[in-house]
Amino acid sequence: MKKVLIVDDNEAVIATLRTVLVRSDYEVVEAQDGQSCLAVAGCEQPDVILLDWLLPDFEGPDLMGKLREVSTAPCIMITAQDTVHHCVAALEAGCDDFIAKPIRPDELLLRLHRLIGK
């Protein structure tokens, strides 16, 4: 079973993603800010990370450099910040993919499958 780390400060978003992922046979771990993301990523070694852009203590692109010190897992930036600028900034920071909110479950699952399989 592949492990997904969800990093978002919105509990409703986490709950929705958790439901979609668990129903699709992914294991889910969670973090609600950048510091806990680093701790969980280092300890749990997820297969992929779903990272929100706006966290209480970091912006997603700024967190990527620190995240790469503890994990080599592919990362998908998931955010309401859906301009071309934001997409380019996320990819330049080291994210492997970018999904704008609201998240479409079928699209998310397809992107996950392309990155890590099932």
Judge whether residue 37 has pLDDT over 90: yes
In this prediction, residue 115 carries a pLDDT of 94
The angle, 0 to 180 degrees and rounded to 10, between the axes of the packed helices 11-23 and 105-116 is: 60
CATH number of the domain within which 22 lies:
3.40.50.2300
Q: Is residue 118, in this structure, part of any structural domain at all?
A: no
Q: In the chain, what percentage of residues exceed pLDDT 70?
A: 99
pLDDT band, residue 51 (cuts 50/70/90): very high
Task: Average the pLDDT over 40-69 and give the result.
Answer: 94
Q: Is residue 116, in this structure, part of any structural domain at all?
A: no
Averaged pLDDT score across all residues of the chain: 94
Burial of 79 (0-12, 13-18, 19+ CB in 10 A): buried
In this prediction, residue 55 carries a pLDDT of 95
Q: Is residue 70, in this structure, part of any structural domain at all?
A: yes
* pLDDT tens digit sequence for 40-49: 999 999 999 9
What is the number of domains present in the chain?
A: 1
Beta carbons of 60 and 90 less than 8 angstroms apart: yes
Judge whether residue 85 has pLDDT over 90: no
Q: Is residue 82, in this structure, part of any structural domain at all?
A: yes
* pLDDT tens digit sequence for 90-103: 999 999 999 998 99
Domain that holds residue 68: 3-111
